[in-house]
Amino acid sequence: MPVTRSKLHGHRGVATFHPDFVEYVAMDAPYHHFPVSCATDAQARGIRETFARARALNDPADARRVVFTLLPGHGVVIVEKWQTDKQPFQTIWEYIDAGYLHIDSHVPQGPITFVPQSDGKMHLQEI
């Protein structure tokens, strides 16, 4: 069975996520300074390399079911781990509905980080 069930790309950003349920994996530094166009080999390679570092996707025991990255100047890519009792995209939508992942219309244009706040979530901070 594959590790991932579904992937979703949107020209949106992420404002917050809950680290107990969702993993953020940063693109390599050059992607934060030199954005690449959609549907290019450079973008595909960068996304592949980024998700290859995801702990939740590499460790079957990791309970986090959703992993995402942000491509500055472009948007979000979200991956959902395979669950036999779920339909494609179901976990992504459930996590959005539960507030574990907050999609935002703002797409960061450069370097970013996520910082913890008192609500237990990680909040986007542009550097």
Task: Render pLDDT for 21-62 as a digit per residue (tens, 0 to 9).
Answer: 999 999 999 999 988 888 899 999 999 999 999 999 999 999
- List the domain range (segments joined by +) for residue 45: 4-110+122-126
Q: What is the pLDDT of residue 1?
A: 56
For 117, residues 6+ apart whose C-beta sits below 8 A from its C-beta are 16, 123
pLDDT at 85 over 90: yes
Kindly state whether residue 115 falls inside one of the protein's structural domains: no
Residues 6 or more apart in contact with residue 36 via CB below 8 angstroms: 42, 43, 46, 71, 74
Instruction: Report the C-alpha gap between 47 and 36 in whole angstroms.
Output: 11
Q: How many angstroms separate the first and last alpha carbons of the chain? A: 39
In a domain, 59, yes or no: yes
Considering the domain boundaries, does residue 116 fall inside one?
A: no
Quote the number of domains for the chain: 1
Do the domain assignments include residue 74? yes
Q: What is the pTM of this model?
A: 0.96
In a domain, 117, yes or no: no
The CA angle 6-121-7, to the nearest 5 degrees, is 10
